[in-house]
Amino acid sequence: MSEPANATGNEFDPVRIGLVSISDRASAGVYQDQGLPALRDWLSRALRNPVQWVERLIPDEQEGISATLRELVDEQRCDLVLTTGGTGPAPRDVTPEATLAVAHKEMPGFGEQMRQISLRFVPTAILSRQVAVIRGQALIINLPGQPKAIAETLEGLPQATPPAPGIFAAVPYCIDLIGGPYLETDPAVCKAFRPKSAIRPPKA
């Protein structure tokens, strides 16, 4: 499913974002998917760019997940792809394997930081196996399955002692480096970090 851009005007670069919720039961209609709305809600608040969403709700099948990621990057031309679900140790949790299978480069820092954030809450965070990779000029990131955990890992814990940076602060500069659009964030939600030399001056 593809939806039109969610912002008006052309002050910021348009961006195409793939959202993938991976769940046997949600994809079969056993219960309502919460992953796609949670991803879209947070990104809609965090980004100032006009966004075109490309969404997929699929079961925990490794080949199907890999095929979906390839489609979103190679055919749909998404600049950023976020997945939710399927990253634990259970037999049906195969999202990391499916993601690594389509990778041109692995970006281990994203997964490391997500686990550090989650460890502030539960010791079982060490069982999470989220990965992030680059395919072509797109960044693909596995996120947790619960909406609250999705927001925490993206946004971080700025009020914690010590504060824990969220992973999305590094996403815009990563996309700069691989040739994607210039992402602008709302600092009230997530302040993107770029070296001074990489900051684009505001358009007149």
Report the percentage of the chain scoring pLDDT > 70. 94
Please give the C-alpha separations between residue 10 and each of 13, 28, 44, 51, in angstroms, as whole numbers: 7, 39, 16, 11
Q: How far apart are CA 79 and CA 123, in angstroms?
A: 33
Query: What CATH number corresponds to the domain at position 96?
Result: 3.40.980.10
H or E segment to which residue 68 belongs: helix 62-70
Entry pTM: 0.93
Q: How far apart are CA 165 and CA 171, in angstroms?
A: 12
Domain assignment present for residue 6? The answer is no
Quote the pLDDT of residue 185.
97
Pair of tokens at residue 34: 């919460």
State the pLDDT confidence band at 7, using cuts at 50, 70 and 90: very low
Quote the pLDDT of residue 159.
85
Q: What is the average pLDDT across 153-176?
A: 94
Q: What is the average pLDDT across 79-100?
A: 97
Domain assignment present for residue 1? The answer is no
> pLDDT, tens digit, for every residue of 42-77?
999 999 999 999 999 999 999 999 999 999 999 999
Quote the pLDDT of residue 202.
76
Domain assignment present for residue 9? The answer is no
Q: Give the domain range for residue 173.
A: 15-198
Domain assignment present for residue 55? The answer is yes
> pLDDT, tens digit, for every residue of 107-150?
999 999 999 999 999 999 999 999 999 999 999 999 999 999 99
Quote the pLDDT of residue 10.
59
> pLDDT, tens digit, for every residue of 168-194?
999 999 999 999 999 999 999 999 999
| pLDDT value at 6 more than 80 | no
- Identify the residue with better confidence: 52 or 160: 52
CA proximity to 65, closest of 111, 96, 38, 106: 96
Quote the pLDDT of residue 3.
47
Q: How many domains does the chain contain in total? A: 1
Report the number of secondary-structure helices (H) and strands (E) in the chain: 7, 8
| pLDDT value at 102 more than 60 | yes
| pLDDT value at 203 more than 80 | no
State the pLDDT confidence band at 204, using cuts at 50, 70 and 90: low
Q: What is the average pLDDT across 192-200?
A: 95
Domain assignment present for residue 191? The answer is yes
Q: What is the mean pLDDT of the chain?
A: 93
